[in-house]
Amino acid sequence: MSRLRRTLPPLASLLPFEAAARRQSFTAAAAELHLTQAAVSRQIRALEQDLGVSLFTRQHRSVALTDAGAELARAIGNGLETIAATAERLRSRRDNDDVVLLTEIYMSMYWLIPRLPAFHDSHPQIRLRVNASTQPLTYAEESFDLALQCGTRPAGVLAPVFSVPDEVFPVCSPAVAAAGSLSAADLADYPILHCRDDPQDGWLTWGEWLSAVGLPGPAPEGSVFDNYPVVLQAAVMGQGIGLGWGRGLEHLLATGQLVRPMPDYLTLPRGLSVYAAPGRADDAHTATVIDWLADTLAANPT
Residue 17 structural domain: 3-89
Average predicted confidence (pLDDT) for the chain: 89
Which of 48, 16, 43, 11 is closest to 32 using CA atoms?
16
pTM over 0.85: no
Q: Looking at the structure, tell me whether residues 174 and 262 fall in a common domain.
A: yes
177 and 29 in a common domain: no
Q: Which of 89, 112, 139 is the last residue of a domain?
A: 89
Backbone angles phi, psi at 212, to 5 degrees: -65, -35
What value, to the nearest 5°, has the Cα angle with vertex 30 and ends 68 and 148? 70
Q: What is the pLDDT of residue 93?
A: 47
Residues 83 and 137 in one domain: no
Instruction: Determine how many CB atoms are found less than 10 A away from the CB of residue 101.
Output: 21
CB-based contacts of 246, cutoff 8 Å, min separation 6: 166, 167, 168, 169, 265, 271, 302
Q: Are residues 207 and 292 in the same domain?
A: no
Same domain, 266 and 169: yes
Q: Are strands 56-58 and 63-65 parallel, antiparallel or unpaired?
A: antiparallel
Please give the pLDDT value at position 119.
Answer: 95
> DSSP label at 203?
P
| Region for 21 from its dihedrals, namely left if φ exceeds 0, alpha if ψ lies in -120 to 50, beta otherwise | alpha
Q: Which CATH number fits the domain that encloses residue 44?
A: 1.10.10.10
Confidence at 1, pLDDT banded by 50, 70, 90: very low
pLDDT at residue 258 greater than cutoff 60: yes
Same domain, 107 and 248: no
Whether residues 80 and 119 share a domain: the answer is: no
Sheet architecture: strand order including 127-133: 127-133, 98-104, 146-150, 266-276, 162-171, 242-245
**170, 237: one domain:** yes
Same domain, 85 and 142: no
Q: How far apart, in whole angstroms, are the C-alpha atoms of residue 53 and residue 74?
A: 16
Among 56-60, 214-218, 295-299, where is mean pLDDT lowest?
Answer: 214-218
pLDDT score for 9: 86
Examine the fold and report which residue of 41, 73, 89 is the final residue of a domain before the chain moves on: 89
258 and 193 within one domain: yes
Residue 48 has pLDDT above 90, yes or no: yes
170 lies in the same domain as 231: yes
Instruction: Calculate what percentage of the chain has a pLDDT beyond 70.
Output: 94
Give CA–CA dist 196/226, Å, rounded. 6
* Among 71, 89, 107, residue at a domain's last position: 89
Q: Given this model, what pLDDT does residue 88 score?
A: 67
Quote the pLDDT of residue 8.
84
* Other beta carbons less than 10 A from residue 74's beta carbon: 14
Cα dihedral 120/121/122/124 (nearest 10): 60
Instruction: Report whether 173 contacts 209 (CB < 8 A).
Output: no
Does 153 lie in the same domain as 183?
no
Rounded Cα distance, 90 and 101, in Å: 18
How many structural domains compose the chain?
3
Quote the CA–CA distance of 135 and 126 in Å, as a whole number.
26
Looking at residue 134, which CATH number applies to its domain?
3.40.190.10
Q: Which amino acid is at 232?
A: L
CA-based nearest residue to 61, from 106, 25, 89, 19:
25
In this prediction, residue 100 has a pLDDT band, given cuts at 50, 70 and 90, of: very high
**Whether 159 contacts 274, CB under 8 Å:** no
Cβ-based neighbours of 1, under 8 Å, separated by 6 or more: none
**Positive or negative torsion for Cα 169, 170, 174, 178:** negative
**According to the model, what pLDDT value does residue 113 have?**
92
